[in-house]
Structure 1
Amino acid sequence: MTFSAVARSADGDSFGVAVASKFLAVGAAVPAAEAGVGALATQAFANLAYRPEGLSLMRSGIEAAATVNRLVTADAEAQTRQLGVVTASGPGATFTGEECLPWCGGVADDGYAIQGNILTGPEVVEAMQVAWLAGDPATSLARRLLAVLAAGDRAGGDRRGRQSAAVLVVRPGGGYGGTSDVEVDLRVDDDPAPVEGLERLLRLHELYFTRPDPATLLDLTGDLAAEVTERLSRLGHPGEPDAALAAWAGMENLEERLAPGRIDPVVLDLLRKA
Structure 2
Amino acid sequence: MRKYKAILLAMGVSLLGVLGSAKAQAFKAEEPLAHTYSIVARDPKTGELAVGVQSHWFSVGTAVPWAEAGVGAVATQSFTNKSFGPRGLALLKEGKTPEEALAILLADDEGREVRQVAIIDAQGRVAAHTGKQCIRYAGDITGKNFSVQANMMLTDKVWPAMAKAFEKSEGQPLAERVLLALQAAEQAGGDIRGKQSAALVVVPGQKAEPWEAKTIDLRVDDSDKPLEELERLLQVYRAYEHMNKGDLAVEKGQMKEAMQEYGKAEAMFPNNLEMKYWHAIGLANSGQIEEAARLLREVYKKDENWRELTSRLPEVGLLDVSKQQMEKLMK
TM-score range, shorter chain: 0.7 to 0.9
Matched residue of 1:17: which SS? strand
- Give the conservation status (yes or no) of the 8 Å contact 2:36–2:78: yes
Cross-structure match for 1:225: 286
- In 1, Cα distance between the equivalents of 2:289 and 2:70? 41
> What is the identity, as a one-letter code, of the residue corresponding to 2:287?
A
- In 1, Cα distance between the equivalents of 2:318 and 2:37? 47
Match status 1:168 vs 2:229: no
> What is the identity, as a one-letter code, of the residue corresponding to 1:243?
L
| TM-score w.r.t. length of structure 1 | 0.78
How much does 1:173 deviate?
8.6
> What is the identity, as a one-letter code, of the residue corresponding to 1:192?
D
Match status 1:243 vs 2:313: no
Cross-structure match for 1:74: 108
How many percent identity over aligned positions?
34
> What is the identity, as a one-letter code, of the residue corresponding to 2:224?
P
Cross-structure match for 1:61: 95
How much does 1:31 deviate?
0.4
Cross-structure match for 1:209: 241
Match status 1:18 vs 2:37: no
| Higher deviation after alignment, 191-200 or 69-78 | 69-78
Highest Rg: 1 or 2? 2
- In 2, Cα distance between the equivalents of 1:109 and 1:148? 13
Q: Deviations over 1:49-108 (max 9, x none)?
A: 101110001111211122211111121111110001100114311110011100000000
How much does 1:230 deviate?
6.2
Q: Deviations over 1:128-152 (max 9, x none)?
A: 0011101133x32211111111111
| TM-score w.r.t. length of structure 2 | 0.65
CA distance 1:200–1:90, change in 2 (3 Å): closer
Q: Deviations over 1:174-217 (max 9, x none)?
A: 99x99321111111111111000101111111111355599x94
Query: Aligned to 2:231, which of 199, 202, 207?
Result: 199
CA distance 1:152–1:223, change in 2 (3 Å): same
- Give the conservation status (yes or no) of the 8 Å contact 2:47–2:206: no
CA distance 1:117–1:228, change in 2 (3 Å): farther
Gaps of 5+ in 2: 1-34, 250-255, 261-281, 298-306, 321-331
Cross-structure match for 1:88: 122
CA distance 1:94–1:178, change in 2 (3 Å): closer
- Give the conservation status (yes or no) of the 8 Å contact 1:174–1:183: no
> What is the identity, as a one-letter code, of the residue corresponding to 1:80?
V
- Give the conservation status (yes or no) of the 8 Å contact 2:245–2:258: no
CA distance 1:223–1:80, change in 2 (3 Å): closer
CA distance 1:222–1:120, change in 2 (3 Å): closer
Structure with more helix by fraction: 2
| Higher deviation after alignment, 128-137 or 32-41 | 128-137
Tell me the matched-pair count.
241
Cross-structure match for 2:188: 155
- In 2, Cα distance between the equivalents of 1:66 and 1:228? 63
> What is the identity, as a one-letter code, of the residue corresponding to 2:286?
A
Gaps of 5+ in 1: 246-274
Q: Deviations over 1:227-250 (max 9, x none)?
A: 15862687536769x8329xxxxx
Cross-structure match for 2:302: none
- Give the conservation status (yes or no) of the 8 Å contact 2:67–2:89: yes
Q: CA RMSD in A?
A: 3.1
How much does 1:5 deviate?
0.4
- In 1, Cα distance between the equivalents of 2:174 and 2:44? 9
- Higher RCO by CA contacts (8 Å cutoff, separation 6 or greater): 1
Q: Deviations over 1:19-39 (max 9, x none)?
A: 000111000100000000000
Match status 1:182 vs 2:243: no
CA distance 1:219–1:43, change in 2 (3 Å): closer
Matched residue of 1:182: which SS? coil
